[in-house]
Amino acid sequence: MSNTKRAIISVFDKTGIAEFARGLSLAGYEIVSSGGTAKYLREQGLTVTDVSDVTKFPEMLDGRVKTLHPRIHAGILARRDVPEHLAKLKEHDILPVDIVAVNLYPFQATVARPKVTDGEAIENIDIGGPSLIRAAAKNHQDVAVATSPDQYPTIISELEISGQVSYQTKRELAQKAFALTAGYDAAINNYFINGPVGAIRELPQQDLPESISLNLKKSLPLRYGENPHQPAGFYLPAGAEPPFEQIHGKEISYNNILDMAASWELVSEFTDPCCVIIKHTNPCGCACAQDLKAAYRLARDGELPPLPISRFGGIIAVNRPLDIEAAEEITGPNSFYEVIAAPDFLPGVKEIFANRKGWGPNVRLVRITKKPGSQYLLRSAWGGALAQAPDNTTLDESKLSQATSNKPTPQQLEDLLFAFNIVKHVKSNAIVIAKNRQLIGMGAGQPNRLASVRLALQQAGERARGAALASDGFFPFADNIEEAAAGGIAAIIQPGGSVKDGDVTARATELKLAMVLTGIRHFRH
């Protein structure tokens, strides 16, 4: 058996590959390559053996078949500690392969492009590359596999120092190689399920996929998670970009991203100028008005004095480019928010926040660059994951069921719909009170609905008189209705469906409340 050391190099990303190949040549390695990689290395003055010279077989099918050959894979997979393996290599005049350097066709980046075609996606599914990587990683006892340019210096350094790559390094490289191919295959699987990155195919609930492959890469490092003792990061599908761009302020945190997502989901419910204030993923302010300045003032003043209480240190989202007038109002006295999220920031707005005393670098300005969305939602539980379709149901006003003889006035109906759009974004058991398209009371996360009603009424105070109340679930007993009426509520919107619906409706009628049923529950755990 020849003492020639052999390295196979086949890369799409040419970053650092010439320097790596030059280092291998100096260490006595024969470089075997094909196609564009071989051409590139020769242009850099390196001596290269073509794969076709090793296999004695030409590249074919427009490059789809190059390295898929026993003379390549036997050289990679042969165990050096098994005499029978070495004898077979000698019998067929095959040289062992000691180093494999491969990176893959950019499938993830391809399917992340707008308007990518199915043909483009399929042609960027690498076949030979993953086969080389997996073969080398399997035989990592004898073969070092490099799958990223940042790994090249370590290999060259060890070759220069000891003449070989250490087993520890080969083991670590193998782990990263298997992670790469697993993620690559997951991305392909997800493409066939969901289509291009960012696409959402609405499927019936029963059509959730039989398997879900997670192919997530760390997109943003985070200082810590919900608490300082919890390491954390923001992960996205490979090839996907964050749906936001930070244009000012200190780094985004784990809690910021959770609250930002909650705020954007809610503000996106409305088409009129709207402002949402979120604290711990629940809205503590929400209003629509003729412009963002007015919407912010109403959202801010949804809480009774003294101010600020809940909103201080929260997150704001608006559904229009933020203008100077609204920015001046937001940065007024006794006010500070962690994040301001908007589809854009008009000229001069960034400077208002950056130069305002007490705000400066502490506030993060975040431009929402695309509407986030998913075909299904995942949540970790008991070492596994729960999956469900998103709660994208919109309320059809024509399908509302009038439960009582008293009908809501046009203004009350507008407030009922406004409140119901908010309540689907509040933690269950959820109660929302609204008046004139302004959130004035909320009860969230209580173990019983009556407690949530009481909390919402307490927040609303006297403003509850004549207001609209929304519930995310049915009322199990009439006591909720009695409490609402005593607090001055004039109209109620709720899903219905309780075995006590008759009692609840009868009591609402006696108390002269207008009540409509949606038939849609919006639990949020």
Q: What is the pLDDT of residue 34?
A: 84
Count of Cβ atoms closer than 10 Å to residue 375 Cβ: 20
Element containing residue 367 per DSSP (H, E): strand 364-368
**Antiparallel, parallel or unpaired: β 282-288 and 339-342:** unpaired
Sheet arrangement for strand 439-443: 401-402, 514-517, 491-494, 468-471, 431-434, 439-443
Instruction: Please report, in tens digits, the pLDDT of each residue of the chain (525 residues total).
Output: 456 799 999 988 888 999 999 999 988 999 998 888 888 899 989 888 888 888 777 777 766 777 778 888 888 999 988 889 988 888 888 889 999 999 888 887 777 777 888 888 888 888 888 889 999 999 999 999 999 999 999 999 999 889 889 999 999 999 999 988 888 888 888 777 766 655 444 545 456 777 777 778 888 999 899 999 999 999 887 667 889 999 999 999 999 999 999 999 999 999 999 999 999 999 999 999 999 999 999 999 998 766 567 788 899 999 999 999 999 999 988 889 999 999 999 999 999 999 998 898 999 999 998 876 667 788 888 888 888 888 888 888 888 999 999 999 999 999 999 999 999 999 999 999 999 999 999 999 999 999 999 999 999 999 999 999 999 999 999 999 999 999 999 999 999 999 999 999 999 999 999 999 999 999 998
Per-residue confidence (pLDDT) for residue 310, from 0 to 100: 76
**Cβ atoms of residues 136 and 32 within 8 Å:** no
How far is it, in rounded angstroms, from Cα 443 to Cα 450?
9
How many Å from the N-terminal Cα to the C-terminal Cα in the chain?
A: 66
Q: Point out the catalytic residue in the list 73, 85, 138, 500.
A: 138
Amino acid in position 175: Q
How confident is the model at residue 237, as a pLDDT?
76
Q: How far is CA 213 from CA 52, 107, 191, 235, 240, in A?
A: 36, 16, 10, 14, 15
Rounded to 5 degrees, what are φ and ψ at 65? -120, 115
In sign, the C-alpha dihedral spanning 304, 444, 499, 519 is: positive
Q: Does 138 participate in catalysis according to the annotation?
A: yes
Asked if residue 312 lies in contact with residue 333, where contact means CB atoms within 8 angstroms, the answer is no
Sign of the CA dihedral 323, 326, 330, 331? positive
- Contact between 314 and 259 under an 8 Å Cβ cutoff? The reply is yes
Choose the catalytic residue: 73, 85, 280, 350.
280
Separation in Å, CA 319 to CA 72, 127, 259, 348: 57, 44, 16, 18
- At 301 the pLDDT is 92
Q: Phi and psi for 401 in degrees, rounded to 5?
A: -105, 125
Buried b (16+ CB within 10 A) or exposed e, 435-445: bbbbbbbbbbb
**CA dihedral sign of residues 64, 69, 72, 76:** positive
Would you say 375 and 203 are in contact if contact means Cβ atoms under 8 Å apart?
A: yes
Identify the helix (H) or strand (E) that includes residue 516.
strand 514-517
- CA-to-CA distance for 256 and 338, rounded, in angstroms? 8
Give me the count of residues in the chain.
525
The span from the CA of 181 to the CA of 364, in Å, is 36
Give all strands of the β-sheet with 99-102 in edge-to-edge order.
49-50, 29-33, 5-10, 99-102, 144-146
Instruction: Please report the pLDDT score of residue 104 as a whole number.
Output: 84
Query: How many other β-carbons are positioned within 10 Å of the β-carbon of residue 452?
Result: 26
pLDDT for position 1: 46
The two three-digit tokens of residue 86, written as one number: 């070495």
CB 421 within 8 A of CB 397: no
Tell me what pLDDT residue 397 has. 84
Which domains, ranges and CATH numbers included, belong to the chain?
Answer: 5-193 (3.40.50.1380), 243-368 (3.40.140.20), 397-517 (3.40.140.20)
Q: How far apart are CA 338 and CA 313, in angstroms?
A: 5
- Amino acid identity of 357? K
